[in-house]
C-alpha cells in the first residue's frame, strides 16, 4: 500500500518485511517499524498514526468493529444534529436567555472549523467579536460573514506564537471594541511526531493561552461577566492510540484553566475548558483522515456512541453557553463534547 500524508505530503509505502518506507517532500527517506520506531535512513520521524495503516491495512476486528455502509452514511446516522435555528410561532419564545447581547468577545484562530463556528455563534448572540488568524484572506471572508450577522468585528493577521504581536493584538482589539468580556483560546499548533510538534504545541496551545489570559485580564476585570474558555481535546483525557505532544499540551491547558479558575475567581473571572472529540467538517483533519486513512476514520467513528462525529457548531454552542452569564456558577470545569467517544467515568 502507498499513501500520501494529507498534511506533510510525505509518501508512505509498505514493505514486504513489514516496515514502512517514508519519503518526505524534500526527498529525505527513512524506514520505520509499525509502532513508530526508526530503523534507518536520514529521515528519523514519521507520523505514528499513518504507519500501522499503511503497513498493516487489515486491522483486527476489535479495533475497527464491523460497520454497515460507508463512513459517510454512518456519519449521517445515529443521533441527528438538532436544528436550533428554526422558529415555531405556535410555540412562542421559550429559549434560554444567555445574557450575551452587547458583550465583547475575542476568539483566536477563528477563520475555519471550530473557531469560525464559535465566532459565528457569539455574533448571532449579539456580541462584538475580535478574531485573529495567520491568513489575511480567511480573515476578510470571516469578517464579512460576522458583519452580515450584525456584529462589530475587529480582525487582524497574527501568529499566536509571537508573544509581542499577540499581546498587541489583544490590546488593539479591546480598544476597538471598548473592552473585553470573553476570551476564547482556540489556536493550536496541531498534532504530529517529533520535537518540532512538541515545540509548536507548547508555543501555540499552551503559551498562547497563558499570554492571552495575561494580556486580556486588565480588560476582563472591568467586565461584569468576565469569562475565559480554553479549547482542549479528548486526547488529553484518554489514550487515543498514539503518544504525541498534542495530547500533553491539551492536558496542560485543562490543568492551567483549573488553576486560573481558583486564582481569578475573586477578580470576577470564570475560567473553563471545552474538550471536543472527533469533529468532522470540510477541509478538517477528519476529512483528510477519511481520505488517506479510511480504516482509522471508521475505527474512530465506531467509537462515537451517538453514531456520528460532531460538528463545529455543536462544539461552539457548548463554548458559548459556558462563556455566557447563563453559566455563572460554572468555573474550573472541563466540558467534554464528544458524542460518547470517550468512555471514562468522570466523577
Among the residue ranges 34-38, 66-70, 295-299, the one predicted with the least confidence is: 66-70
Task: Say which of 12, 246, 280, 297 is annotated catalytic.
Answer: 246
Percent of the chain whose pLDDT exceeds 70: 88
Sheet hosting strand 29-32, strand order edge to edge: 2-4, 11-14, 20-23, 29-32, 38-41
Look up residue 14 and give its three cell numbers: 509498505
Taking only the tens place, the pLDDT of each residue in 272-331 is 999 999 999 988 888 888 988 898 899 999 999 999 999 999 999 999 999 999 999 999
pLDDT of residue 78: 63
pLDDT band, very low/low/confident/very high, at 160 (cuts 50, 70, 90): very high
Residue 91 clears pLDDT 80, i.e. is over it: no
CA neighbor of 71 nearest in space, from 302, 341, 279, 278? 302
When the candidates are 3.40.50.1000, 3.10.290.10, 3.90.950.20, 3.40.50.720, the CATH number that belongs to 104-337 is 3.40.50.720
Domain boundaries, the chain: 2-56, 104-337
Tell me the pLDDT band of 55, cut-offs 50, 70 and 90: confident
Dist CA 112 CA 190 (whole Å): 14
Confidence label for 83 from pLDDT (cuts 50, 70 and 90)? low
| Catalytic status, residue 246 | yes
CA–CA gap between residue 38 and residue 140 (Å, rounded):
43
CA 161 to CA 202: how far, in whole Å? 9
Sign of the four-CA dihedral 141, 145, 146, 151: positive
DSSP 180: -
CA angle 315, 240, 117 (to 5 degrees): 15
Residue 68, pLDDT score:
35
172-225 residue pLDDT tens? 999 999 999 999 999 999 888 889 999 999 999 999 999 999 999 999 999 999
Tens of pLDDT, residues 246-267 = 999 999 999 999 999 999 999 9
Mean of all residue pLDDT scores within the chain = 87
Amino acid at each position: 500500500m502507498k499513501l500520501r500524508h494529507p498534511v506533510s505530503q510525505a509518501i508512505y509505502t509498505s514493505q514486504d518485511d513489514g516496515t514502512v518506507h517514508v519519503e518526505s517532500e524534500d526527498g529525505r527517506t527513512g524506514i520505520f517499524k509499525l509502532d513508530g520506531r526508526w530503523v534507518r535512513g536520514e529521515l528519523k520521524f514519521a507520523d505514528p498514526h499513518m504507519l500501522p495503516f499503511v503497513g498493516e491495512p487489515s486491522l483486527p476486528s476489535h479495533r475497527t468493529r464491523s460497520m454497515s455502509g460507508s463512513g459517510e452514511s454512518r456519519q449521517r446516522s445515529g443521533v441527528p444534529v438538532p436544528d436550533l435555528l428554526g422558529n415555531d410561532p405556535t410555540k412562542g419564545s421559550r429559549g434560554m436567555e444567555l445574557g450575551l447581547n452587547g458583550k465583547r468577545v475575542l476568539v483566536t484562530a477563528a477563520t475555519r472549523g471550530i473557531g469560525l463556528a464559535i465566532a459565528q455563534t457569539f455574533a448571532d448572540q449579539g456580541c462584538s467579536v475580535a478574531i485573529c488568524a495567520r491568513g489575511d484572506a480567511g480573515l476578510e471572508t470571516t469578517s464579512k460573514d460576522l458583519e452580515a450577522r450584525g456584529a462589530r468585528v475587529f480582525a487582524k493577521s497574527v501568529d499566536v506564537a509571537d508573544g509581542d504581536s499577540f499581546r498587541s493584538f489583544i490590546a488593539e482589539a479591546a480598544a476597538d471594541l471598548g473592552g473585553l468580556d470573553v476570551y476564547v483560546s482556540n489556536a493550536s499548533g496541531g498534532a504530529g511526531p517529533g520535537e518540532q510538534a512538541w515545540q509548536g504545541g507548547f508555543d501555540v496551545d499552551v503559551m498562547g493561552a497563558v499570554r492571552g489570559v495575561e494580556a486580556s485580564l486588565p480588560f476582563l476585570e472591568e467586565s461584569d461577566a468576565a469569562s475565559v474558555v480554553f479549547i482542549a481535546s479528548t486526547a488529553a483525557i484518554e489514550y487515543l492510540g498514539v503518544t504525541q505532544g498534542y495530547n500533553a499540551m491539551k492536558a496542560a491547558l485543562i490543568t492551567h484553566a483549573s488553576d486560573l479558575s481558583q486564582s481569578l475567581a475573586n477578580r470576577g473571572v470564570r475560567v473553563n475548558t471545552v474538550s471536543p472529540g472527533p469533529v468532522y467538517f470540510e477541509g478538517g483533519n477528519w476529512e483528510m483522515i477519511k481520505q488517506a486513512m479510511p480504516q482509522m476514520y471508521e475505527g474512530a467513528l465506531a467509537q462515537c456512541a451517538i453514531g456520528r462525529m460532531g460538528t463545529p457548531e455543536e462544539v461552539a454552542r457548548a463554548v458559548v453557553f459556558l462563556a455566557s452569564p447563563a453559566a455563572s456558577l460554572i468555573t474550573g470545569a472541563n466540558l467534554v463534547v464528544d458524542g460518547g467517544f470517550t468512555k471514562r467515568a468522570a466523577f
